[in-house]
Chains A and B, each alone.
Chain A
């Protein structure tokens, strides 16, 4: 798992990790955010367990275009 920052926000790559490690890593990053910077998640599957947890924190997710074999999400704080 790795994290980096680029022009479109923070990125976290959780590909290859078994559940629930991606969930925990993504939520750790979300909880650490102090502003409205979006987060891009690079996953190898649809993280079905993530969405209720994100909603509890006041965040939402949208699937965005991704290369073949990757499931990419954009996470944003709800307005």
Chain B
């Protein structure tokens, strides 16, 4: 039996494996924006619980999280993981590097424009972000069009891209209104579409779809069947369509009820499939990272319950802020932080291996102390923000933001450690 060096693996894998610097730069930037997001919230803590949507640092913090952390990670993870799922070559890494530069600068300028209440800056940043997202979407469309297999993941990918188109159109329209331009359709419709299709459409569909690869991969379990994945997908897509139509004022109460029913059923099925994968997997001990993922899933379910409260117009003080905390802080941020803690060392180990030597283990690259610090600070931050909303207390918001910033620094230290150890191994 003749053999070739182990280093040939990564050489042969280059079709689907991007150069390490591409996905890891997106994840490193996400870690940095994570710190900036919490600092922006600290700067705007006095305004946050009562008026989170006006121009100012709370709105900047929100977009540093959604675009800087969640969007940035989605761009990197999508570019690396979708080719694996679709069995297609990875997209061009030079274009992805250009997208990263444009997107990173765009998010920074947009957040400054929001924080300093300067609409021209905000609009310039939004335009850069939109161009970067559109270029990335073109790469993903090419990839999905040639997809072979994994119809569940591919369907979620298409839905995420359609949602992204809605998000970009509405974002540019909203940025235009800050410049004093007339919105078409009216601002309340645009805002309603943006608030549904950004978290549940673009980020949500990507998170749900990629989970069908990532959760079985990390738990070492069988994937849910295509039929199960597609059933959950169909319900989630129906929920988005219903909520989208409702945003235009067509039978809004009834359609929002129907959207929540469909969305609730989609989430219930998805979570059942995910918990089954965890229960039946060979790897039972998934550590704090998957505790964060589970907290994220609880946040997703809670966001739908709170959305029902909004539809029913329940007289709960600051209900929209509660909804935002569950949706962004508890679901998306916890879920993503948990996944990042697994993906970053895994990808780094993949790239550091080869060269005829024994492969490097992901566990050898991690820094447990930093992850523990992030975990407890993240939970403290969420708890303090919940207290801030309940009491409408700016000091609690400030304490929560500072706890979040400490956790984000710990997560950034973890990412830096992984990258440094990977580099040492490669050198």
Interface residues of A (CB under 8 A from B): 8, 18-21, 23-24, 27-28, 31, 45-46, 48-49, 51-56, 60-65, 71, 74, 78
Contact = CB atoms under 8 A, between A and B. Distances in A.
Interface of B: 1-6, 8-10, 12-13, 15-17, 84-85, 87, 149-150, 213, 216-217, 220-223, 282, 346, 349-350, 353-354, 358-363
B362 A56 contact: yes
Contact of A21 (B5, B15, B222): B222
B360 A52 contact: yes
29 contacts: A18-B85, A20-B216, A20-B223, A21-B223, A27-B220, A28-B220, A28-B282, A46-B9, A46-B12, A46-B13, A48-B13, A48-B16, A48-B17, A49-B346, A49-B350, A52-B349, A52-B350, A52-B361, A53-B220, A55-B358, A55-B359, A56-B363, A61-B6, A62-B4, A63-B3, A64-B3, A64-B4, A65-B2, A74-B3
A34 to B, nearest CB: 16
Given A48-B10, A55-B353, A62-B4, 19 more contacts: A20-B213, A20-B223, A23-B220, A24-B217, A24-B222, A27-B220, A46-B16, A48-B84, A49-B350, A51-B349, A51-B350, A52-B361, A52-B362, A54-B359, A55-B349, A61-B6, A62-B5, A63-B6, A74-B3
A58 B391 CA distance: 53
A49 B149 CA distance: 17
B222 A52 contact: no
Contacts of A60: 6, 358-359
A48 B222 CA distance: 18
A28 B6 CA distance: 22
Nearest to A60: B358
A59 B360 CA distance: 11
A8 B2 CA distance: 12
Contact of A24 (B15, B149, B216, B353): B216
Given A8-B1, A18-B223, A24-B222, A52 B353 contact: yes
7 residue pairs, one from A and one from B, having the closest CB atoms: A55-B359, A52-B349, A20-B217, A46-B13, A18-B149, A48-B13, A55-B361
B13 A19 contact: no
A66 B220 CA distance: 27
Contact of A18 (B13, B16, B150): B150
Given A51-B350, A55-B349, A55-B359, A63 B222 contact: no
A19 B80 CA distance: 14
Contacts of A46: 9, 12-13, 15-16
Contacts of B221: 24
Contacts of B220: 23-24, 27-28, 53
B266 to A, nearest CB: 22
Contact of B12 (A23, A27, A63, A65): A63
Interface centre among B15, B217, B221 (most CB of A within 10 A): B217
Nearest to B87: A45
A21 B220 CA distance: 9
Nearest to A40: B1
A20 to B, nearest CB: 4
A44 B257 CA distance: 46
B3 A19 contact: no
A6 to B, nearest CB: 11
Contacts of B349: 51-52, 55
A48 B4 contact: no
Contacts of B4: 62-64
